[in-house]
Structure 1
Amino acid sequence: MARTAAALHILVKHQNQAEDILQQLKKGAKFQTLARKYSLCPSGKKGGDLGEFRQGQMVPAFDKACFRGEVLKPQIVKTKFGWHVIKVLYRT
């Protein structure tokens, strides 16, 4: 089982905005560009880069998506902070 992961994310307030961002990504938009433009998280300034983190370090829904979801395939997750578009870069 993976113990660490690295991910990019974009935090927005509304599900429809997260879905719109996901569609833009599917059409070839750059994740980092969209993160700088839309993300409410301070990590948006770094293209949404969260760096590497340990399992259990993030809120449960986010953690589950990062450690059980597909690598390199953007997905949407809802947490108490809002809606996240997450792209897991790798797991170790």
Structure 2
Amino acid sequence: MAKTAAALHILVKHKELAESIVSQLNKGAKFDVLAKKHSSCPSGKKGGSLGEFKQGQMVPAFDKVCFSGELITPHIVKTKFGWHVVKVLYRT
């Protein structure tokens, strides 16, 4: 079982925008460019990078995707903060 993960994310208020971002990513758009443009999280300035974090550090729905979702594939996650487009880079 993975103990840590590294991920990028883009936080937005509306599901439709999250879906549009995933569509753009699937067509080859750069994650960091979209994060800087759309993310309401301070990590957006860093291209959406959350760095490496331990399991249990993030809110449950976000944590679940980071530790069990497919790597590199963009996922949409709803939390109390809004809609996240999450790209898990690796797990250790």
TM-score normalised over the length of structure 1: 0.99
Instruction: In structure 2, give the amino acid aligned to 1:65.
Output: V
Structure 1 residue 37, shift from structure 2 partner? 0.3
Instruction: In structure 1, give the amino acid aligned to 2:40.
Output: L
1:73 aligned residue: 73
Q: Deviations over 1:14-42 (max 9, x none)?
A: 00000000000000000000000000000
Quick check: 1:30 aligned with 2:33?
Answer: no
| Structure 1 residues 54-69: aligned runs within 5 Å | 54-69=54-69
Moved over 6 A (4+): none
Structure 2: 5+ residue stretches without partners: none
Q: Percent identity?
A: 76
Structure 1: 5+ residue stretches without partners: none
RMSD (Å), alpha carbons: 0.3
Quick check: 1:12 aligned with 2:12?
Answer: yes
SS of 1:22's equivalent in the other structure is: helix
Structure 1 residue 91, shift from structure 2 partner? 0.2
Q: Deviations over 1:55-78 (max 9, x none)?
A: 000000000000000011111000
SS of 1:76's equivalent in the other structure is: strand
TM-score normalised over the length of structure 2: 0.99
Instruction: In structure 1, give the amino acid aligned to 2:58.
Output: M
